[in-house]
Amino acid sequence: MLLGAFSVSGVAQTATYHLHREASTLTAADDKLLTAGPDAASLAITTALTGKVAGEYLIKEFETQTGVPATAGAIPSGSTLTFNLFMRKTANVGTVFPRAKIRLNNATGTLLCTATGTTALTTTVAKRTISCTTTADIAMTATDRFYLWVGVNLTATSTSTFNGELDVEGTLNGNFDSTIVLPLGTPAPSITSLTPATGAVGTSVVIAGTNFRATQGTSKVTFNGITSTPTVWSATSITAPVPTGATTGPVVITVGGQASNASTFTVTPAPAITSLAPNTGAIGSVVTITGTNFGPSQGNGSVKFGTVVATVSSWSPTSIVATVPTGAVTGSVVVTAAGGVSSAGVTFTVTAAPAITSVAPAGPGTERSHQRKRCGDRCRRHFQQRRAFQSAEPRRTGRGSNRLCRRHGDRDDTCDCCVLNFGGQRTAAGFRVFW
């Protein structure tokens, strides 16, 4: 069981190991360093300090077993190692501080770092948390193991009898479960994409990939050899600006002394607007912005009319189509390419929308009256031709029978003509006129 491990993209970056009381299968004098928790009662391990001169003294050595941790790669310089050790001195004499070291494989292997506590031990068993950081990149192979040295640093001696004590096992994450948290080697970083992959100096570029490790530490990003200063760093994503002096070429990430694959970034001048068509119009007008270095796609780029962001319907390296947004006023149009670099402004004049002040003829009512007159004239002529009667008006007038009526629909080329009797009821003597 791996407790306290932190994993990103399937590769653990740290591992927690518990100090056990059982002997190692590799070195008889050492005890086991395991990812599994306590499996036995607690044990106090001591070293005699009576009459010793100032200096460091070993209490116990521990080691991981064959095939652990099995992580080939590198531990970057600046990585932190943390030791949580239950310790004390057995008598209230002398001055001693907790100390721990980590090496690769054995007592003579590559030293990662040495941690020494700043608070002296007392006669009460207590968990002492101490830490140290690597000062160089540590290369690891798949067969490398960890070796732990735990002891004390004696600064004030005494001839009275006393010991330095380390307690192990007991209750998981409680008394007296001494543990250490170590960084693991990870493979070389790998870049999978740059967003955007083209832009001017100052463009903010998101670099996606794997094995970047959770924090930057001493790792770095370069654009064709020029070092950038990242603003965001995680195990799978880095955000870094194109540095001053960078030219088109490879982006490379170096973690723990291991360089990634190269991914090409094309450095261009800043975006520039050459024309607006039209350069004046109302809210809602569609404007074509022509220029250079806008980038192949919008991405997180934008177009602003003054301070108001416009809706973009088309984007290419040399042409953008945008709609004048609500709230825009006369002012500068600015294009910001993906990555955050902006063009100089070009003036667009916002005008009022067109408005109707009058209609000649005066609208549908007037036109309808003209239609009615034409329809009435035609009904009258047709009735006269058929000698139905001699009414001069195309609507109900006077008394008597054979009064003329007509009905006008939506069409202006059709009239329905009829005859009304004395009661005003329509008779069957009607017909339709077309023209």
Q: Could you read off the pLDDT of 378-411 as tens digits, one per residue?
A: 666 665 555 433 333 444 433 444 444 544 444 4
- Give residue 401's pLDDT: 42
* Domain 272-350 in the same topology as domain 6-183: no
Query: Which residues, 6 or more positions from 278, have their beta carbon under 8 angstroms from its beta carbon?
Result: 285, 287
Torsion of the alpha carbons at 246, 252, 255 and 256, rounded to the nearest 10? -90
Q: Where are the domains of the chain?
A: 6-183, 190-267, 272-350, 364-434
Q: Is 377 helix (H, G, I), strand (E, B) or coil?
A: helix
CB count within 10 Å of CB 396 equals 11
In this structure, CATH architecture of domain 272-350: Sandwich (2.60)
In this structure, CATH architecture of domain 6-183: Sandwich (2.60)
- Looking only at the bridges linking them, the beta strands covering 80-89 and 126-133 are antiparallel
Of the candidates 80, 89, 95, 73, the one whose C-alpha atom is nearest the C-alpha of residue 11 is: 73
Angle at 250 between CA 247 and CA 252, to 5 degrees: 120
Given a contact cutoff of 8 angstroms between Cβ atoms, the answer to whether 331 and 347 are in contact is yes
CB count within 10 Å of CB 427 equals 12
pLDDT (tens digit per residue) in 32-60? 999 999 999 999 999 999 999 999 999 99
Return the residue matching tokens 């770092």: 113
DSSP tally for the chain: helices H, then strands E: 1, 36
- Give residue 354's pLDDT: 83
Distance (Å, rounded) from C-alpha 404 to C-alpha 304? 67
Distance (Å, rounded) from C-alpha 200 to C-alpha 202? 6
Given a contact cutoff of 8 angstroms between Cβ atoms, the answer to whether 60 and 92 are in contact is no
Distance (Å, rounded) from C-alpha 147 to C-alpha 67? 13
Given a contact cutoff of 8 angstroms between Cβ atoms, the answer to whether 115 and 133 are in contact is no
Distance (Å, rounded) from C-alpha 218 to C-alpha 260? 15
Question: What CATH superfamily classification does 190-267 receive?
Answer: Immunoglobulins (2.60.40.10)
- Give residue 417's pLDDT: 62
137: burial class by Cβ within 10 Å (0-12, 13-18, 19+)?
Answer: buried
Distance (Å, rounded) from C-alpha 143 to C-alpha 94? 41
Of the candidates 78, 212, 70, the one whose C-alpha atom is nearest the C-alpha of residue 141 is: 70
Q: How many CA atoms lie within 13 A of 267 on its CB side?
A: 16
User: pLDDT (tens digit, 0 to 9) for every residue of the chain, 435 residues total?
Assistant: 334 443 333 445 899 999 999 999 999 999 999 999 999 999 999 999 999 999 999 999 999 999 999 999 999 999 999 999 999 999 999 999 999 999 999 999 999 999 999 999 999 999 999 999 999 999 999 999 999 999 999 999 999 999 999 999 999 999 999 999 999 999 999 999 999 999 999 999 999 999 999 999 999 999 999 999 999 999 999 999 999 999 999 999 999 999 999 999 999 999 999 999 999 999 999 999 999 999 999 999 999 999 999 999 999 999 999 999 999 999 999 999 999 999 999 999 999 988 887 766 655 555 555 555 666 666 666 655 554 333 334 444 334 444 445 444 444 455 666 654 444 455 444 544 444
The alpha carbon dihedral of 106, 110, 112, 114 has a sign of: positive
